[in-house]
Amino acid sequence: MINILKLAIIIQAFWVLYPLYYGWEGAIIRSVISATFILTLGFFYFVRGAIKGQLTLPRVRIIPLLGWLVSICLAGSIVGFLHGYPTRAILSDLFPIIEFVASLLLGLVLIKTIEQAKRLIMLFVMSIGLVAWMEVAIYLVYPEFYFHQVLIGGLVIKRVADFTTPIALLLFLAMIGRKPYGTKIFYILGIGMTIAIFLSFLKSIWLASLIGIAIVFAVHPQKQSFVKKIISLVSFIVVGLLIAKIVFSFLKQSQGLITISNASSLTFKLIAQLFDPNLPSFERLQYVSFALRQWAESPIIGKGLGAGWWTSIGETRLAEQLPSQRWRNDIPSYPLFVAWKLGLLGLLIFSIIGRFLIRSLIVGITTLRDPFWRDFLAGICGGYTYVFLISSFAFLPFNHFPIPFYMGIMSAIICKLSWFRPSEQNQISPYSAEVSEE
């Protein structure tokens, strides 16, 4: 069954092309299919184990916490149905959380050896790196593929709005030079992922990625090597972009497209916006005040999953098939999202799970002797930071991209390695991940 999990990792990487082309309206399909697949896989695992009399669960303290999380989310779904929220909106809120929980549990029971864990990490990074190069190629050859357009200073942007790539890049940067990663693979995949992030032309992705890199640097056990690899990567990219700019400067810019030739102008305008105090985001402030008012009406249990408001629909490829308005059920701040819909109880259980994972990271970094896993945990620190930031000041990309799935698998590896003993060279004991309370 571990091979099926590997296949799922590859398929999820290519799923990002769906919302990039069709827009966000149908993106819930991804999380529903993913969560259903994972739950089905888990069901067959437990049925097979029960028939063979080999049904066991790892003794990891996060499992009861996940049970509480699922219970609170199901209760929130019931509250949402009682309030009469659209079923689609309720599922849109519920399935990403179920996807994270299911993938974490699946990783705990299926990942048996260190080598399996290493292969899954490598497969994740290489799959995202391959898709990143595909995104860059599509952007240059057929930019009409990308739907999102934003006017800034008269420039029309076609952007690669993939929120998954920075997670893989942070892991890859942290683990450069460690087997099974080689220098050639690093330059090939690392350059592709970095260019894809640049072509997103999203301040939120840029800022969250840079802060994630800073966190990795702060906890990385080999800071000097880490900095050298980043400098070499940036140098290769800068040289490549200069060459590309010269080439594209000879090509005429088609109306409605943005090419590499004016990317520098757009970049400076985005950076100027980022540090311009005279450009407050009134829309974001309205979202925050709205969520706080809603939360105050039901502070303990929240307003229920699916809570939202009607708003004019954005331009998407599916716009002609949809009403002129849609039910908006997210805000650009995940803590407020949780408090608004699941109340203080939901926020508490999310905080406890986050504390457990952070504690496991810290324990692993400070106690594990294997350099590979120390580098991995440093990369995941940056990955967690990125996900938290991108869901706090951008928007909630959990429906559209397989972030819950990938973070669930990576979290499962963390839980099984946190208290791994150096003497256990070949097998990850399902009992070794239990965090001692002493």
pLDDT for 281: 58
pLDDT for 258: 53
DSSP strand pairing (155-156 vs 151-152): antiparallel
Residue type (1 letter), 428:
I
> Can you tell me the distance from the alpha carbon of 93 to that of 307, in angstroms, rounded to the nearest whole number?
9
Is the bond into 180 cis (omega within 30 degrees of 0)? yes
Q: Contact at 8 Å (CB) between 283 and 299?
A: no
pTM: 0.86
> Can you tell me the distance from the alpha carbon of 348 to that of 339, in angstroms, rounded to the nearest whole number?
9
Q: Contact at 8 Å (CB) between 260 and 241?
A: yes
The pair of three-digit structure tokens given for residue 401, joined into one six-digit string: 């991209």
The pair of three-digit structure tokens given for residue 190, joined into one six-digit string: 């690392």
CA distance readout (Å), 259 to 142, 241, 247, 251, 349? 11, 12, 11, 9, 46
Across-strand partners of 328? Answer: 309
- Of all helices (H) and strands (E), which one includes residue 327? strand 325-328
> Can you tell me the distance from the alpha carbon of 401 to that of 164, in angstroms, rounded to the nearest whole number?
7
pLDDT for 153: 67
Q: Tell me, letter by letter, the H, E, C secondary structure of 108-138.
A: HHHCCCHHHHHHHHHHHHHHHHHHHHHHHHH
CA distance readout (Å), 344 to 69, 190, 268, 326, 339? 13, 41, 41, 28, 6
SS3 188: helix
The pair of three-digit structure tokens given for residue 249, joined into one six-digit string: 């400067």
Helices 114-141 and 183-198: angle between axes, nearest 10 degrees: 50
Helix-strand-coil percent breakdown of the chain, rounded to 5? Answer: 70, 5, 30
> Can you tell me the distance from the alpha carbon of 233 to that of 18, in angstroms, rounded to the nearest whole number?
29
Cα angle 252, 257, 262 (rounded to 5 degrees) comes to 65
pLDDT for 213: 94
218-225 contacts at long range (C-beta below 8 A, 24 or more positions apart) = 219/365, 219/377, 219/378, 219/381, 220/174, 220/375, 220/378, 221/365, 221/371, 221/374, 221/375, 221/378, 222/371, 222/375, 225/176, 225/177
SS3 45: helix
pLDDT by residue for the chain (438 residues), tens digit each?
Answer: 788 888 889 988 988 887 787 766 666 777 778 878 888 877 877 777 777 776 666 777 888 999 999 999 999 999 999 999 998 889 888 888 988 998 998 898 888 888 889 899 989 999 999 999 999 888 878 877 887 666 666 666 778 888 999 999 999 888 866 554 556 776 788 889 998 998 888 888 988 999 999 999 999 888 888 888 888 888 877 777 777 666 666 555 544 445 555 666 777 777 777 666 666 555 666 777 888 888 999 999 999 999 988 877 665 565 566 666 778 787 878 888 899 999 999 999 999 999 999 988 888 888 888 888 889 999 999 999 999 998 887 767 787 888 999 999 999 999 887 554 444 434 444 433 333 332
